[in-house]
C-alpha cells in the first residue's frame, strides 16, 4: 500500500517532457508574446495532420520533476508558461501549475479538451479535434477557442463549438500549416462574413522559431 502511494505521488510531481524551450507564442490570443513552452509527451487524439507525432508515445520521453521544470523556466525572464503536447490533460497537472503559479508564473494550456481538466490555469486554449472530441465539461472553461481548418467542413465544426463556449471566449480560425495556401483565403472570407472570428497564423513557423 505504501508503495502505491509513493508511485502516485511521483506521477504527479514528474511528467514526460518531449521538449521545453523559451520562445514567442505563435498562435491565438497571446500570439507574439514571450513564453516558455513545456511540451508533454502522450497523445491518443490521432490527428492525421499532427505536426508533433513524436509526442504521441509518452514512454519515449524522459520524466522531469515539476521543480526542475520551474527552475529551468526561472533561468529565463519568462512570465508565461505554455503547457502543450501531445495532449497535456492526459496527465494530472495540479502539482505542475501549483509550483509554477507559486513562482509567480502565468500558466497557459493548449488542449484538445479530450481529457478531464486538472491544474489551475490563467488561460485555457481549447482546440477541439474531430478525431477525439472534447469532453463537454471542459468546454465552458475555455478562454480561447482555436479551430484548425483543414478543409471546408471545419467551419461547421468551428461553429458547433463556438455555440458551446462561454460568451467571453475568444474565437480563432487557424489554417492547418500544409493547407494554409488553400485554406487561408477561405478563412479570410469566412471571418469577413462572420466577424466574431479572428485569424490565427502560426507565426513561429514564419519567423522560424520553435
Question: Residue 99 or 150: which CB sits closer to ligand SF4?
Answer: 150
Question: Residue 77 has which C-alpha cell?
Answer: 525572464
- 174 is an interface residue for ligand SF4 by CB under 6 A: no
**Residues between 127 and 166 with contacts to ligand SF4, criterion CB under 6 A:** 129
**Residues between 44 and 83 with contacts to ligand SF4, criterion CB under 6 A:** 45-47, 50, 52, 55
Residue 21 bridge partners (DSSP): 37
For ligand SF4, which stretch binds (CB under 6 A), given 38-46, 64-72, 117-125, 180-188? 38-46
Give the ranges where the chain is alpha helix by DSSP (H).
2-13, 66-74, 94-102, 154-162, 180-193, 203-206
Q: How far is the CB of 193 from ligand SF4 (least distance, A)?
A: 27
Distance CA 26, CA 131 (A): 24
Question: Residue 11 or 51: which CB sits closer to ligand SF4?
Answer: 51
Distance CA 45, CA 40 (A): 14
Distance CA 155, CA 187 (A): 9
**Residues between 103 and 132 with contacts to ligand SF4, criterion CB under 6 A:** 112, 129
Cis bond before residue 86 (omega within 30° of 0): yes
The one among 28, 86, 119, 175 contacting ligand SF4 by CB under 6 A: 86
Q: How far is the CB of 64 from ligand SF4 (least distance, A)?
A: 19
Q: How far is the CB of 9 from ligand SF4 (least distance, A)?
A: 27
Q: How far is the CB of 56 from ligand SF4 (least distance, A)?
A: 7
Burial, 190: exposed, middle or buried (Cβ in 10 Å; 0-12, 13-18, 19+)? buried
Distance CA 61, CA 33 (A): 27
Binding residues for ligand SF4, rule: CB under 6 A, are 43, 45-47, 50, 52, 55, 85-87, 112, 129
Amino acid at each position: 500500500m505504501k508503495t502505491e502511494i509513493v508511485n502516485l505521488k511521483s506521477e504527479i510531481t514528474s511528467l514526460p517532457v518531449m521538449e521545453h524551450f523559451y520562445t514567442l507564442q505563435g498562435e491565438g490570443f497571446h500570439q507574439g508574446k514571450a513564453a516558455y513552452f513545456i511540451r508533454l509527451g502522450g497523445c491518443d487524439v490521432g490527428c492525421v495532420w499532427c505536426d508533433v507525432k513524436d509526442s504521441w508515445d509518452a514512454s519515449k520521453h524522459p520524466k522531469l520533476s515539476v521543480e526542475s521544470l520551474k527552475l529551468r523556466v526561472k533561468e529565463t525572464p519568462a512570465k508565461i508558461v505554455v503547457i502543450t503536447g501531445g495532449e497535456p490533460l492526459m496527465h494530472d497537472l495540479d502539482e505542475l501549475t501549483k509550483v509554477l503559479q507559486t513562482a509567480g508564473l502565468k500558466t497557459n494550456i493548449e488542449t484538445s479538451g479530450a481529457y478531464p481538466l486538472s491544474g489551475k490555469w490563467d488561460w485555457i486554449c481549447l482546440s477541439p479535434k474531430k478525431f477525439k472530441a472534447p469532453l463537454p465539461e471542459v468546454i465552458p472553461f475555455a478562454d480561447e477557442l482555436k479551430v484548425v481548418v483543414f478543409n471546408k467542413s471545419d467551419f461547421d465544426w468551428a461553429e458547433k463549438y463556438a455555440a458551446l463556449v462561454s460568451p467571453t471566449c475568444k474565437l480563432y480560425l487557424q489554417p492547418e500549416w500544409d493547407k494554409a495556401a488553400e485554406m487561408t483565403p477561405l478563412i479570410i472570407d469566412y471571418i469577413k462574413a462572420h466577424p466574431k472570428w479572428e485569424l490565427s497564423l502560426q507565426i513561429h513557423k514564419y519567423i522560424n522559431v520553435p
